[in-house]
Amino acid sequence: MAHKNTTTLFQTLSRLAPQLHPIRWPLFWGFLSALAASGVALAVPQIYRILVNTALVPGNGTGALWVGAGVVLLLGVLEAGLISLRRQFVIVPVTTVETRMRTSFYAHVQRLAVEFHDRWGSGQLLSRAMSDLNFMRRWMAFGAIMLVVTALTVVIGVGLMFSMSWELGLIFLAAAAPIAIFGFRFRRSYGRASRKSQDQAGDLATTVEESVHGIRVLKAFGRGREALDSFEEQAQELQATEIHKAKSLAVFSLVVTLLPELALGAGLVVGILLVSNGRLDVGALVAFFATAAVVAGPVEAMGPLLAMTFAAKTALDRHFEVIDSTNTITDPEHPVQLDTVRGELEFRDVHFRFPDSPEGTTDLLNGVDLTLQAGETMALVGITGSGKSALLNLVPRLYDVSSGTISLDGVDIRQLSLNDLRRHVSVAFEDTTLFSHSVRENVLLGAAEQGESSPELNEAALERALEVAQAGFAHTLADGVETLIGEEGLSLSGGQRQRIALARAIAARPALLVLDDPLSALDVNTEERVMDRLREELAGTTTLIVAHRPSTVSMADRVALLQDGRITAVGTHAELLAGNEHYRYVLASLTEEPRDLDSDAELSGEPSDELGATPLTHKDQGAGA
């Protein structure tokens, strides 16, 4: 994650301005209320002065006293009212802005390409969506307003002090210059520390998330201790940063309290000398220090308020950093509409490399050419890490090709809207992600928005999908298909999860089905049943399926062999088995017996003349295993 911290406070805050524009009046009224509350508090002593000078003389009537007390009471009520008014003005608008920023953050992050999510831990994103925005809200509702009110109080107070004695005022003001310089340094050191602490807190959240998601591994190896140790180390780093941050604030607070106090000490001496010289009267001296006492509170409050402001800036920077990440995979400006999709998929000279792959390495996919006829089932075979999954991810545009084109029915998939493309293409991943919903909702996830979401149709789609994927076990769960699964619900076995995920891909009724080794956790019998049903149900659906096992491959119409980033051979299973050494290496079974079975199959299954007649397009490259 980039630790850019080059924006100034003003730049960051000005980016907030558009958000604040709609609520500028409530904010202004809130500010006025806060100011008025301070004003009212300052007015009360004036009533005492009047009362003492006029009404409170022994023997006077009680009328004036009642009036005076009444006014004091009234002002007291007014002050409390104004304080509550500030909240009333500000809270709802500010929380609305917070919520709007939070939801747009979520919406934005959700739309960012998978490549972005590969780089960003979800804990890091979470801390930006929650703590940073919470902090920003508190700053807007309280910190920002109080900072202005406090600053104004100080300015007015210093003005009053000048009016009483310019010499003393100057001495007091002289303290302000070093404070400004320290404030500048404080901004840098505190800003840096708060950035670091917020980043570290985000990383810590990521570690927590991993420790929970990887709990099985940690338990299986008994590495709870080590995980705790490294968490402790990380948490201690955060602790050190936080303490460093506090020290930075403490030093600044020290300066902010000390300098005015020193100025006042000097002022006291000078004032007394001035009085003794007759250049100042005692009353003015008393008033000067009374005012200074009023100003001291706000001056002291400046430290924490400024710190809050700098931390809010950091929080905003972190927020905008994500908001500024551009989505690399977007809808085209003028999307092409495909009315009926036949499902012809063509890869032409497709290159792909992960955006952060180092220079000089060859592309993971290095010129893939492959055509799937409409309705055809094509198996994709290659050794572990050959780029099969990457190739599959390109079809629904989870990643974009680095160069070359992928077209659906002759249209570059980048010319389709993402929504349309992903409606036409349905995927089952090797990592099955089920969401915290019922089985029904999980299966109908992609089917729900097909426009014809009548309950009967959905019910039929659900049944069919469960049946094809051999996921009938769902009916035997406690609440049948309404059973809550996923993280918040029942945990299913690997094979069960895969079948639900497969049912989900089928229920979406896509024109093009992309399956990434979807049956790896199934036993042979179940796999065979699924395969048979798939073949019947998906007769008209183009299917691209990654396979590791001969059993999966044999149901495909054709097989494509991915090797060194290219498709080096395409043909039927039998053809490739007979004519391609690398293919045999990748798919030949492990035990000794199957060799006999191979020959059996070749002898009984495919006549040898047909083998010879089929042109193996990439035969030359296929040999180098």
Partner 1 sequence: MSRKDKPARNATPQGTTDEDRVDLSRDDSRAVRQRSVRLLGALLRPVRVRFAITVALVVLSQAAKVAGPLLIAFGIDTALPALTATPDSDPLPLILTGGGYVVAALLASWLTAAYLTATARLSQAMLLDLRLQVFRHTQRLSMEFHESYTSGRIISRQTSDLEALRELLDSGISSLASGLVFMALTAVSIFSLDWITGLLVMATAIPMFLLSRWYQKHSQSAYRSSRVVSARLIVHFVETMTGIRAVKAFRREDANAARYDELAEDYRRVTVRSINLNGVFQPGLVLIGNVAVAVVLLAGGFRVLHSALEVGALLALLLATKRFFQPVSQMAMFYNSFQSAQAALEKVSGLLEEVPTVRPPRHPVALPQASGDIRFTDAEFRYGTGPVVLPRLNLHIPAGQTVAVVGATGAGKSTLAKLMSRFYDVTEGSLTLDGVELRELSTADLRRAIVMVTQEAFLFSGSVADNIALGNPAATREQIEAAARDVGADDFIRALPDGYDTDVNKRGGRVSAGQRQLISFARAFLANPAVLILDEATSSLDIPSERMVQSGLQRLLGAQGAVSGRTALIIAHRLSTVAMADRVLVVHEGKIVEDGSPAELISDGGRFAKLHGAWQDSLV
List the interface residues with partner 1, window 168-197 (CB under 8 A). Answer: none
For partner 1, the closer of residues 22 and 76 by Cβ is 76
* Shortest Cβ 275–partner 1 spacing (Å): 6
The residue count for the chain: 625
Number of chain positions touching partner 1 (CB under 8 A): 191
Of positions 111, 185, 188, 279, contacts partner 1 by CB under 8 A: 111
Pair 79, 41: CB distance under 8 Å:
yes
Of positions 167, 209, 463, 557, contacts partner 1 by CB under 8 A: 209
Pair 137, 98: CB distance under 8 Å:
yes
H/E element, 561: strand 558-563
User: For residue 385, is it left (φ>0), alpha (ψ between -120 and 50) or beta?
Assistant: left
Pair 432, 497: CB distance under 8 Å:
yes
* Shortest Cβ 219–partner 1 spacing (Å): 6
Q: How many CA atoms lie within 13 A of 312 on its CB side?
A: 26
Positions in 303-322 near partner 1 (CB under 8 A):
none
Alpha helices in 395-489 (DSSP H): 418-424, 439-443, 455-468
Of positions 15, 117, 348, 464, contacts partner 1 by CB under 8 A: 117
Judged by CB under 8 A, the stretch of 19-27, 68-76, 370-378, 614-622 that binds partner 1 is 68-76
* Shortest Cβ 10–partner 1 spacing (Å): 27
Pair 104, 277: CB distance under 8 Å:
no
Site string for partner 1, 358-397 (x = CB under 8 A): x--x--------------------xxxx--xx---x--x-
For partner 1, the closer of residues 83 and 373 by Cβ is 83
Site string for partner 1, 275-304 (x = CB under 8 A): xx-----x--xx--x---x------x----
* Shortest Cβ 321–partner 1 spacing (Å): 16
Q: Is 67 in the site for partner 1 (CB under 8 A)?
A: no
For partner 1, the closer of residues 102 and 618 by Cβ is 102
Site string for partner 1, 213-252 (x = CB under 8 A): xxxxxxxxxxxx-xxx--xx--xx--x--xx-xxx-xxx-
Pair 21, 135: CB distance under 8 Å:
no
* Shortest Cβ 475–partner 1 spacing (Å): 13
Q: 618: which residues sit within 8 A by CB, 6+ positions away? A: 567, 568, 569, 570
For partner 1, the closer of residues 181 and 286 by Cβ is 286
- Which residue from 395, 402, 466, 464 is spatially nearest to 425, judged by alpha carbons? 395
* Shortest Cβ 383–partner 1 spacing (Å): 5
What is the β-pairing status of strands 403-408 and 345-352?
Answer: antiparallel
Judged by CB under 8 A, the stretch of 366-374, 405-413, 589-597, 613-621 that binds partner 1 is 589-597
For partner 1, the closer of residues 5 and 551 by Cβ is 551
**E strand intervals along 395-486:** 403-408, 411-412, 425-428
What is the spatial distance between Cα 485 and Cα 474, in angstroms, rounded to a whole number? 10
* Shortest Cβ 331–partner 1 spacing (Å): 12
For partner 1, the closer of residues 152 and 235 by Cβ is 235
Cα dihedral across residues 162, 167, 172, 178: positive or negative:
positive
Judged by CB under 8 A, the stretch of 23-31, 150-158, 199-207, 532-540 that binds partner 1 is 199-207
Q: 87: which residues sit within 8 A by CB, 6+ positions away? A: 30, 141
Q: How many CA atoms lie within 13 A of 174 on its CB side?
A: 13
For partner 1, the closer of residues 349 and 467 by Cβ is 467
Q: Is 623 in the site for partner 1 (CB under 8 A)?
A: no
Positions in 421-440 near partner 1 (CB under 8 A):
422-423, 425-427, 429-431, 433, 435-436
Judged by CB under 8 A, the stretch of 6-14, 370-378, 420-428, 460-468 that binds partner 1 is 420-428
Pair 314, 3: CB distance under 8 Å:
no
The residue written with tokens 């600053």 in the block is 151
* Shortest Cβ 378–partner 1 spacing (Å): 17
* Shortest Cβ 163–partner 1 spacing (Å): 19
**Got the DSSP string for 346-384?**
EEEEEEE--TTPPTTSPPSEEEEEEEE-TT-EEEEE--T
Positions in 549-578 near partner 1 (CB under 8 A):
549-551, 554, 573, 577
Secondary structure of residue 207 in the 3-state scheme: helix
Of positions 17, 212, 539, 613, contacts partner 1 by CB under 8 A: 212
Of positions 24, 355, 449, 620, contacts partner 1 by CB under 8 A: 449
* Shortest Cβ 573–partner 1 spacing (Å): 8
Of positions 15, 87, 342, 464, contacts partner 1 by CB under 8 A: 87
Cα dihedral across residues 489, 493, 494, 500: positive or negative:
negative
Judged by CB under 8 A, the stretch of 15-23, 320-328, 535-543, 591-599 that binds partner 1 is 591-599
Judged by CB under 8 A, the stretch of 115-123, 368-376, 558-566, 615-623 that binds partner 1 is 115-123
Of positions 8, 163, 419, 608, contacts partner 1 by CB under 8 A: 419
**Got the DSSP string for 23-75?**
GHHHHHHHHHHHHHHHHHHHHHHHHHHHHHHTT-STT--SHHHHHHHHHHHHH
* Shortest Cβ 98–partner 1 spacing (Å): 7
Of positions 68, 157, 298, 518, contacts partner 1 by CB under 8 A: 68
For partner 1, the closer of residues 20 and 521 by Cβ is 521
Please give the angle made by the CA atoms of 391, 339 and 418, to the nearest 5 degrees: 40
Tabulate helix, strand, coil % of the chain (nearest 5).
65, 10, 25
Q: 536: which residues sit within 8 A by CB, 6+ positions away? A: none
The strand pairing partners of 411, in sequence order, are 408
What is the spatial distance between Cα 343 and Cα 363, in angstroms, rounded to a whole number? 27
Site string for partner 1, 457-496 (x = CB under 8 A): ----------------x----------x-xxxx-x-xxxx
Positions in 524-553 near partner 1 (CB under 8 A):
524-528, 548-551
For partner 1, the closer of residues 166 and 585 by Cβ is 585
* Shortest Cβ 88–partner 1 spacing (Å): 7
Residue 420, amino acid? D
